[in-house]
Structure 1
Amino acid sequence: MATANEHQSERDTIESLHRDNIFNFFRSHTAYDVLPESGKVVLLDASMSAFGAFHVMAANEQTAVPVWDGRSDRYMGMLTVSDLLEMLLFCTSSENNFKDSLRSIDLAYWLSNSERPSGCPESSVEVKPDDDLLCVLRTLLRNDCRVLPVLEREGNTPLLNQCIIGQITYLLLFRFLYYHQEQDLGTLKGTLREAGIGTMEASKVIKVHPNEPVKDVLKLMSENGISGVPVVDANGKFMDMFSDADILGLTELDLNVPVEHALQRAENGESKPKHCLITDPLSKVISCFSIARTTRLACLDEKGSLQGVVTLVDLFKFLAGMS
């Protein structure tokens, strides 16, 4: 009769086999495979103002957009919601009218003269369509960015030598992996704390309250280089997750509204659970990410109190053996 240790050893072997399958999946698929078969690439001209860029990105529900300099026919870099966040904060500190200040900033000046916000790739960071997904993932992680442009550079002219065919985010990469590898992902055992994934100490999690103005929340995110914060009530119970992408719902650009109201506008009546239990096995956490379609989950105890945060970055570091 097999002993308990032998059963555990067998389970560990099976889990290791499934993790190898996931690793091999990354090696056998390319950046081009991840891109949607049909869709559009929204492109911003470098002469556009920050005010115009905000409304284009909001109207098209884009969290990152490539910027093209039409005068010199060259790719300048990616404009992300983190850029918009920094632009909004910059203009709130200006002595001029807030919206006029946004209109006075053009994208060419911003990308050429401003330090890249946390999570934004430098203009030189990119991947090719035939790069395998392990290369894509490592490029994301090593450059600490949340989005990568996919550029084709095999044309015969300067214009065709920098053809932008799409972009890859952690969320797009996760959805592709989950669609094809759900069975292997479902075998991962152990909790987040046991696997050493995420921030599992409540005292270390940066959080806000629902009545705090959006402006103050954006400052907090900027100062700490993070893309989102949990919103908790006076008793520490989790309510929602505010991310930099939610600023796209502030079409009136009123940064004095409470963060609770900003979330209601952003969700537009469609609220998905953005949390998991701290005791959930990894397979359940992965399922929660799939349902929520978000890059960040709050980790709660059985009473609904916030105990930690886990992100897709944390998850991919674990899967790639880089945690």
Structure 2
Amino acid sequence: MATLSPTQSPKPRRKPSTRRRAPSQLAPYPNQQIADAHNAAIVGIRNFLKNHTAYDALPVSFRLIVLDTKLNVKKALQCLLLNSVVSAPLWNSETSKFAGMLTVLDIIHLIQYYYRTASYDDAAADVETFKLESLRDIENELGVAQPPLLREHPDSTLYAASRLLMQTHARRLPLLDNDTETGHEVIVSVLTQYRLLKFISINCNQEIQQLHLGLRKLKIGTYIAQNPDEVPESERNNPYYPIATATLGTPVFDVVHMFSERSISAVPIINEEGIVVNLYETVDVITLVRLGAYQSLDLTIAEALNQRSPDFPGVVICTASDSLGTLLQLIKRRRVHRLVVVEGEKGRLLGIITLSDVLRHVIGRAPVAEPAELYEDLPSSNSQAVFEGVATEGPSTGAYDTPVLAPVDIPVDISADTPADTSSENHDT
């Protein structure tokens, strides 16, 4: 007898809905809104740079010091000092071509070379005749990397120039044109990191208002390693790794070696508690050279700071939570090249932020020709204030047994007019 298997009636199929799912009625998290606004502002700044040329960032009137490679080092240094600049393009008059940049770091290399290999009398005599064209030989002797001969045309976009600027040894990019009649190169100007960031801070105010994220959250700057596994065995005795530091009792030559070995331009001076008391810069070494003190590298940092110019503007400090927007607002108002990141009321060293660090974030991560440099930091947009280190007593250049720095609030008035920058175009450090 045949059995019948039960049959199932087919289920009716529903037509796919054409209605869209209703959007969430919940507002996005505030942190997400801030992050989205930050990213949109960065994109806006980059688009702004893509629509402007390097010419646009140059002041209406400026002077440019250019040095011939046949000039001896002593005269070249005197020229820089007399014109209150710290760098200059080099020109090969034999080939009528651009030959690189003379910077403070080149002088540091020269001082280090003579200090190691010659007596003071020999060094003083050689500097009288040593020519700029031989500086690269000194770098070879010291085993330091030679700077690439990077340059850009003034008609190039600021975005393209900025990406190239991040690869330069000197934190500055020469702008070269060509003479249509002779075909020779013409040095038009030099684009510096400070000049570029100031141009952004003046012209991108709307975008800057949206940059509320903290500097450390954005990974802008170099900070003391928190994980012991990140510290190499050779640096285990350095509680501030990877930041180079010194004390008021450190010999100047030790700091000069840090400048040359790490290709940095400043070292925080701290006390035994790690509190920042000052900052020693490459330009301070040039002050010793200007005074004819080739042998003064045996001085302590405290003694060298006593010879610092009274025009020293102080050490600018900030916290890790201060915003990128506030930093750019500060650059709009005053000349800043580096900021020391501190924590606590006493100002214990936490990190350092340089303009290179800021530029890498604003422009984007481009291939860099050398290790990332150390240094620079600033305060938050919520506080609307920055902190500048000043002497607690006596002249600002003196050395003290007590901390030299005391935090002082300096309001950041965004609406204030920016004073005209009349300094030389190749003054930036």
TM-score, scaled to structure 2 = 0.68
Match of 2:111 in 1: 88
CA shift in 2, pair 1:16/1:282, >3 Å: same
Q: Which amino acid in structure 1 is aligned with residue 70 of structure 2?
A: S
Deviations 1:2-29 (A, max 9, x none): 6463544443333333222211111111
Measured against aligned partners, the alpha-carbon deviations of 1:23-51 in whole angstroms (never above 9, x if no partner) come to: 11111111111222212111112221112
Matched, 1:316 2:363: no
Structure 1 counterpart SS, 2:269: strand
CA contact (8 A) 2:221 2:357 kept: yes
What is the aligned counterpart of 2:251 among 213, 218, 238? 213
User: How many Å separate the matches in 2 of 1:118 and 1:137?
Assistant: 25
Give the number of aligned pairs.
Answer: 320
130-139 or 253-262, larger mean C-alpha shift: 253-262
Contact 1:66 1:79 (8 Å CA) reproduced:
yes
SS for the counterpart of 2:278 is strand
After superposition, give the CA deviation of every residue in 1:77-136 in whole Å (9 maximum; x if it has no partner).
21111111101111222334232122231012224674499797423x101010111111
Partner of 2:317: 275
Verify the 8 A CA contact 2:37 2:211 in the aligned structure 1: no
Counterpart of 1:188, as a letter, is L
Once residues 118 and 293 of structure 1 are traced to their aligned partners in structure 2, the CA distance between those partners, rounded to angstroms, is: 29
- Determine the C-alpha separation between the residues in 2 that align with 1:73 and 1:19: 40
Q: Describe the shift of the 1:152–1:56 C-alpha distance in structure 2 as closer, same or farther (beyond 3 A).
A: same
CA shift in 2, pair 1:106/1:188, >3 Å: same
Give 3-state SS (helix, strand or coil) of 2:101's partner.
strand
Amino acid at match of 1:54: L
CA distance in 1, matches of 2:108, 2:157: 32
SS in structure 1 at match of 2:62: coil
Structure 1 vs Structure 2: percent identity of aligned residues? 24
Q: 2:178 aligns with which of 132, 153, 159?
A: 153
Letter in 2 for 1:309: I
Quick one: structure 1 residues 246 and 187, their matched pair in 2 at CA, closer, same or farther if it must change by over 3 Å? farther
List aligned pairs for 1:169-318, cutoff 5 A: 169-201=192-224, 202-250=240-288, 251-254=290-293, 255-263=297-305, 265-290=307-332, 293-303=335-345, 304-318=347-361
Aligned ranges for residues 2-151 of structure 1 at < 5 Å? 3=26, 5-96=28-119, 97=121, 98-111=123-136, 114-115=139-140, 121-123=147-149, 125-151=150-176
Moved more, 286-295 or 243-252: 286-295
- Give, in whole Å, the separation in 2 of the partners of 1:238 and 1:290: 25
The structure with the greater share of residues assigned to helix is 1
Tell me, what secondary structure is at the counterpart of 1:204? Answer: coil
Change (3 A) 1:269 1:144: closer
Residues 200 and 25 (structure 1), Cα distance of their counterparts in 2 relative to 1, 3 Å cut: same
1:119 and 1:282 mapped to 2: Cα distance?
A: 31
Whether contact under 8 Å (1:49, 1:102) holds in the other structure is yes
Q: Is the 8 A contact 2:68 2:92 kept in 1?
A: yes
Structure 1 portions without partners, runs of 5+: none
**Counterpart contact for 2:110–2:138, Cα < 8 Å:** no
Tell me whether 107-116 or 139-148 shows the greater mean CA deviation. Answer: 107-116
By how many angstroms is 1:154 displaced?
4.5
Asked whether the equivalents of residues 211 and 259 of structure 1 are also in contact (C-alpha less than 8 Å), the reply is yes
- Distance in 1 between the 2:352 and 2:52 partners? 30
- Kindly indicate whether the alpha-carbon contact (under 8 Å) linking 1:276 and 1:298 is maintained by their aligned counterparts in 2: yes
Distance 1:216 1:71, change over 3 A: same
User: Separation in 1 of the partners of 2:94 and 2:40?
Assistant: 53
Aligned residue type for 2:325: S
Give the unaligned 5+ runs of structure 2. 1-23, 225-239, 367-429
- Which TM-score applies when normalising by structure 1? 0.88
Cα deviation for residue 262 of structure 1 reads 3.8
After superposition, give the CA deviation of every residue in 1:228-263 in whole Å (9 maximum; x if it has no partner). Answer: 211112221112222223333221142333334444
- Is the 8 Å Cα contact of residues 30 and 129 (structure 1) preserved in structure 2? yes
- Structure 2 CA distance for partners of 1:6 and 1:64, relative to 1, 3 Å: same
CA distance in 1, matches of 2:144, 2:202: 29
Q: Could you tell me which amino acid in structure 1 is paired with residue 60 of structure 2? A: E
